[in-house]
Amino acid sequence: MAEGKGGVSRRGFLKGFGTGVVGAAVAAKVRLGEAAPQTSPGWDGKVPVVLRVNGKEYRLLLEPRTTLVRAIREHLGLTGTKVVCDRGECGGCTVLMDNKPVYSCQVLAVEAQGHEITTIEGLVQAEELDPIQKAFVEHDAMQCGFCTPGQIMAAKGLLLKNPSPTREEILRGMSGNLCRCAAYPGILRAVESLAKKAQG
Amino acid sequence: MAKKLVRSVWDFENEWVETVAEVPERLPEPWAPDRPLRVAGQKYPRVDGYQRVSGDARYAFDIQLPRMLHGKILRSPLPHARVKQIRAEKALALPGVVAVFTHENIPPIPWYGDSFLFDPHVRYEGDEVALVVAESEAVAEEALGLIEVDYEPLPFVIDPEEALAAGAPKLHDEGNLWNGRPNVYERGDVEKGFQEADVVVEDTFRTQVVHHAQLEVHVCVADWEGDQLTVYETTQATFSVQRSLASILKLPLNKVRVVNYFMGGGFGSKLGLEKQTVLAALAAKQLGRPVRIANPRKDEFLAMGNRPSSIQKLKVGAKRDGTLTAISLWSLGPGGAYRSAGAELGTPVREIYKCPNVRTEESTVYINAGPARPKRAPGHPQGTFALESILDEVAEKLGMDPLEFRLKNYAEIDQVRNRPYTSKYLREAYEAGAKAIGWYEKRNKIPGSGVGPIKRGIGMATQIWGGGGGPPAYATVEIVSDGSVIVRSGSQDIGGGTRTIVAQVAAEELGIPMDRVTVIMGDTALCPYGPTSGGSVTAASITPAVLAAAVEAREQLKGYAASALNVPADQLAWEPGRFFLKSDPGKSISFEEAASRLRSNMIVVTGARGPNPEGYTINSFGAQFAEVEVDTETGRVRVLKIVAAHSVGRLINPLTGRCQFEGGIIMGLGFALLENRWMDPNVGRMINTNLHDYRVPTMMEIPEIEVIIVSEPDTKANPVGGIGIGEPAIIPTAAAIANAVYNAIGVRVRELPITPYRVLEALGKA
């Protein structure tokens, strides 16, 4: 980062607050502008992990504590899958593991090895949305959209297992996914529309 | 476009905001109610639906920048304490930790008036103590546990009534009662009113603390390029965050950019600059790398706002014929540990019904718990619950139908400001809602008279809210040579579908298909100013600016059409899709052909939102009707059906509008039956800081919902004719459910949430 090209420089900026103490207190760990491999978490503890995500194989070196959702988001850059509660309560991180919906915050990346993982990005084929994604748009089954990837994966998993679920089966199947905007009626209509299509 | 300055006063979350606003000299011609519209008012799926369902939508939570660091905030585990010492050595020794910031090395930036960014006097469990910055989120989380803090515990108070008692622990120099006195409003003479009454009912109602629990946590990424700061922020207030941040960091506004393209829910918890955003900017500046700070879910419950609880003592007097003679309200609620949002809730009492004698006395107190924030219609769901409950009690004493009683006291004008409304179709809402729920057929004439252990009941409640919006608000419309159009506005689409209605208004006025319009919102560097999305003001503030810009842009395009046809521009007229010669309508040129004459020219027009009409109040109104089933053996309440009939001017998109109404109603159901912050009074800490124990509605709880819009477009309010809908939706739901529960079981639950235990208690079975 360039300093002091006119305007506010980093040093001048901090000085503006009269905070000489800042540098002193944290200097031991601060390496301004330096590439810092030496501050990276210990390479030693990392383990090789092979994940199959959306039909592709990825070879990663991860800390064993890395959850599947963090591997997907932070290491593969697939940020469609969200973290909401990070403790298996909300369904925001739902992905498919061998076509079954799982909370990816409750699965370690190392445990996901040998399984076929599908994320929200994996439902899109050459920019063409999956029928369940289209149904969500058509029935306006969302507001802010933050839970939407998880909802769609839960719905996809439900429909893969049971292509024509009853209303009761949809409510139960989808009840593990919270939507605070409460677009639930729209979600129900979207899933029901596909259930009806499957019934012909 | 010629503009002028006016003084503008309008309603934002029950506060009357006064600004000097730039408005157009000439207002666009309003879309008259009888004007046929092709696009606006029609059901269109969201223009950004693809992004939202494909995972492409990038929220602030999803921003990953090269060399980005992760920050986590250490929060006080105690409700009230003094930080004596912080030792960060062990945390700093953890591989991957880059820095620790505390009050000792962060500037004493003022916050909440008498506190600081990091204040060694911590006043609630969750108060900010330190920031760890590390190479990964996991390492930052681990490091939090390695920071050693010596606290000197102080006496605490978490009960609002105890906070007012003599000798209660004091949080601030001013004492625990905000401003040292209640907010008092008075019209007429309530004592005289009660003397004139044939029936007087007095009762106390209580509501609980509930949380926003929006799914995207508060998160920001701060990134410096030289002296230019970009902040990716999840916010309802893109421009307000930019201004506050620039002011605190003493940076020029043009050096601070706030970006907020997709936003994962706010409901009032994201209305301003956050401490963590300032911290991320400071840390990123010092460390020379981008810094991301995302709250864990637990912190959202502790520190990022709530709807305060309430104690409401209400007294209502009426004459035998049902005429209200007096209403008085005394209320108390906690603002939490700092001044962020008050606990006022008296607007429904003052404004919904015609009553000459009204007195409200509302108090907010400090307690050692998370600061309140505005939550979806601040004050209204709780105030409406109490008011609408006691009105049903009065109606019963008078032997009147509750609906008839309300119609008897219908307010034709705004009694607080003594002026008419631009529009009010509440009578129509009562009528339509009553019909749809089967009010006269299904309601128990004798409450609780149903046979068997599972009893059904019907109840209703009324809603009032602002949402008229106002200036300043801008939008630009750009037409380029292939006939495609870009619309920019500085507000944000927080999930209400704002981008979609903006595209609809532009497409309508320009006479082009929706897919020819791209909307850019939520970026201070790319968009002209648009208001904060709170108070349901976004739609009514920015769509008239879009309309003004579109009208002017089309007028400018007419010049190119005229030169192509080789006629003077004033001989051309317009109909959707084409300009034609007035004298020879067969001779015409399409929008696209005219645009093709632009070549490398561009039409760029900035439209401004006009002033609100003088001498009028703009409000939404509505009535919701609930049908419930109560199991008198288990105490469980099931909501079977909600009918929501509302007066909100023109609904610009009935598809996204329906979704917003349904969502507000279900959130209202959560307030009525499920949600509650549990505090441990012994230690002053919150118990249910997660989405399992803090119960928000799931799909299993949803009732059948019927939404009916009873209003005509309100073109007196603004030329597009829409009034906001986000908050009206939630306001009367809990009250309608509570009245339905009474109608089912014949005993009243005066405290929310109406849990199975409270139902059994009311039935004398607990």
CATH code at position A77: 3.10.20.30
Q: What is the mean pLDDT of chain B?
A: 97
Lowest mean pLDDT among A195-199, B84-88, B249-253, B438-442: A195-199
| Per-residue confidence (pLDDT) for residue B562, from 0 to 100 | 96
Average pLDDT over residues A67-93: 97
The pLDDT of residue B736: 98
Quote the CA–CA distance of B580 and B558 in Å, as a whole number. 10
Distance CA B394, CA B405 (A): 9
For residue A39, pLDDT beyond 50: no
Residue among B135, B659, B666, B694 with most chain A CBs within 10 A, to mutate: B659
Known catalytic membership, residue B22: no
Q: Is residue A31 part of a domain?
A: no
* Domain interval for residue A159: 47-199
Q: Give me the mean pLDDT over the B231-237 stretch.
A: 98
Alpha helices (H) in B237-320, listed in sequence order? 238-249, 275-287, 297-303
**Token pair listed for B647:** 């007066």
Catalytic option among B362, B428, B727, B761: B727
pLDDT for B171: 98
The number of domains in chain A is 1
Confidence band for A28, pLDDT divided at 50, 70 and 90: very low
For B264-307, how does the pLDDT look when each residue is reduced to its tens digit (9 = 90+)?
999 999 999 999 999 999 999 999 999 999 999 999 999 999 99
- Cβ distance B101 to B88 under 8 Å? no
- Least CB-CB distance to B45: which of A7, A138, A180? A138
pLDDT, tens digit, 9 for 90 and up, residues B591-616:
999 999 999 999 999 999 999 999 99
CA distance A200 to chain B (A): 25
Please answer whether residues B677 and B694 qualify as being in contact, where contact means their C-beta atoms are separated by less than 8 angstroms: yes
* A69: in domain: yes
> How far is B407 from B423, CA to CA, in rounded Å?
17
Count interface pairs A-B at CB distance under 8 A.
Answer: 250
Instruction: Report whether pLDDT(A49) > 70.
Output: yes
Q: Which residue of B has its CA nearest to A138?
A: B45
Using CA atoms, how far apart are residues A186 and A17, in angstroms rounded to an integer? Answer: 51
Q: Do A82 and B61 touch (CB under 8 A)?
A: yes
Residue A131's φ and ψ, nearest 5 degrees, are -55, -35
Q: Do A137 and B45 touch (CB under 8 A)?
A: yes
Distance CA B489, CA B507 (A): 15
- The CA distance from B744 to B454, in Å, is 9
Sequence-ordered list of residues with C-beta below 8 angstroms from that of B515, at least 6 positions apart, any chain: none
Which DSSP symbol is given to B534? Answer: -
Distances (CA, A) of A106 to A65, A76, A103, A110, B555: 11, 18, 6, 12, 58
- Distance CA(A181)–CA(B663), nearest Å, equals 5
Q: What is the mean pLDDT of residues A148-152?
A: 98
Residue-level pLDDT at A4? 34
Three-state secondary-structure class, residue B698 = coil
Distance from CA of A115 to the nearest CA of B (A): 21
Listed in sequence order, the residues at least 6 apart from B664 whose beta carbon sits closer than 8 Å to its beta carbon are A182, B376, B725, B726, B727, B728, B729, B730, B733
**Is the Cβ–Cβ distance between B639 and B673 less than 8 Å?**
yes
Q: Mutating which of B46, B47, B54, B727 best tests the A interface, going by the most A Cβ atoms within 10 A?
A: B54
Residues B289, B222: Cα–Cα separation, whole Å: 9
DSSP B601-628: --EEEEEEPPPPPTT-B--EEEEEEEEE
What is the model's pLDDT at position A9?
39
Using alpha carbons, select from B264, B58, B46, B53 the residue that is nearest to residue A123.
Answer: B53
Angle (nearest 5°) at CA B714 between B712 and B720: 110
Q: How far apart are the first and last CA of chain B?
A: 69
Q: Which of these, B190, B623, B194, lies nearest to B388 by C-alpha position?
A: B623
Give the pairing type, strands B704-709 and B637-647. Answer: parallel
Q: What percent of chain A shows pLDDT beyond 70?
A: 78
Alpha carbons B216 and B234: distance in angstroms, whole number: 8
Q: Which residue has the tokens 């399409």?
A: B590
Residues 6+ apart with CB under 8 A from B510: B477, B479, B485, B517, B550, B553, B554, B591
Q: What is the 3-state secondary structure (H, E, C) of chain A?
A: CCCCCCCCCHHHHHHCCCCCHHHHHHCCCCCCCCCCHHHCCCCCCCEEEEEEECCEEEEEEECCCCEHHHHHHHHCCCCCCCCCCCCCCCCCCEEEECCEEEECCCCEHHHHCCCEEECHHHHCECCECCHHHHHHHHCCCCCCCCCHHHHHHHHHHHHHHCCCCCHHHHHHHHCCCCCCCCCHHHHHHHHHHHHHHHHC
Q: How far apart are CA B190 and CA B203, in angstroms?
A: 16
Residue A6 in this model has a pLDDT that exceeds 50: no
Q: Pick from B137, B288, B578, B347: which is nearest to A70 by CA?
A: B137
pLDDT above 70 covers what percent of chain B? Answer: 100
Q: At what angle do helices A148-161 and A184-199 cross, to 10 degrees?
A: 30
* pLDDT for position B709: 98
- Residue at A13 is within a domain: no
Taking CA–CA distances from B108, the nearest residue in chain A reads A17
Report pLDDT for A44: 65
Q: What are phi and psi of B331, to 5 degrees?
A: -140, 155
Segment A130-145 shows an average pLDDT of 98
Contact A170, A186 (CB under 8 A): no
> Considering the domain boundaries, does residue A102 fall inside one?
yes
- Does the structure show a pLDDT above 80 at B110? yes
- The alpha-carbon gap from B291 to the nearest alpha carbon of chain A, in Å, equals 13
CA angle B276, B279, B284 (to 5 degrees): 125
Q: What number of other Cβ atoms are within 10 A of residue B702's Cβ?
A: 20
Contacts of B702 in chain A (CB under 8 A): 182, 184-185, 188
- The whole-angstrom distance between residue B120's C-alpha and the CA centroid of its chain comes to 32
A29 pLDDT higher than 80: no
Q: Is the CB of residue B743 less than 8 Å from the CB of residue B666?
A: no
Alpha-carbon span A87 to A64, nearest angstrom:
17
Q: Do B662 and A129 touch (CB under 8 A)?
A: no
From the list B471, B540, B522, B665, the residue with the least C-alpha distance to B236 is: B522
Q: What is the mean pLDDT of residues A132-157?
A: 98
Q: Which chain A residues are Cβ-neighbours of B299 within 8 angstroms? A: none
Contacts of B52 in chain A (CB under 8 A): 137, 142, 145, 148
Residue A105 falls inside a structural domain: yes
Q: Above 90 in pLDDT, residue A13?
A: no
Q: What is the pLDDT at residue A40?
A: 47
Residues B27-51 have pLDDT tens digits of: 899 999 999 999 999 999 999 999 9
Beta bridge partners of B111: B115
User: Tell me, what's the pLDDT at B11?
Assistant: 84
Q: Does the residue A14 lie in any domain?
A: no
Domain assignment present for A128: yes
- What SS3 string covers B132-173? EEECCHHHHHHHHCCCEEEEEECCCCCCHHHHHCCCCCCCCC
Does a structural domain hold residue A8? Answer: no
Task: Name, in order, each residue with C-beta under 8 angstroms of A118's C-beta and a sequence gap of 6 or more.
Answer: A53, A54, A95, A96, A99, A153, A156
At residue B336, the pLDDT reads: 98
Which of B227, B229, B533, B667 should one mutate to test binding to chain A, selecting the residue with the greatest count of A CBs within 10 A? Answer: B227
Residues B562-570, mean pLDDT to the nearest whole number: 95
Unique residue bearing structure tokens 């006097």: B121
Separation CA B539–CA B722 (nearest Å): 7
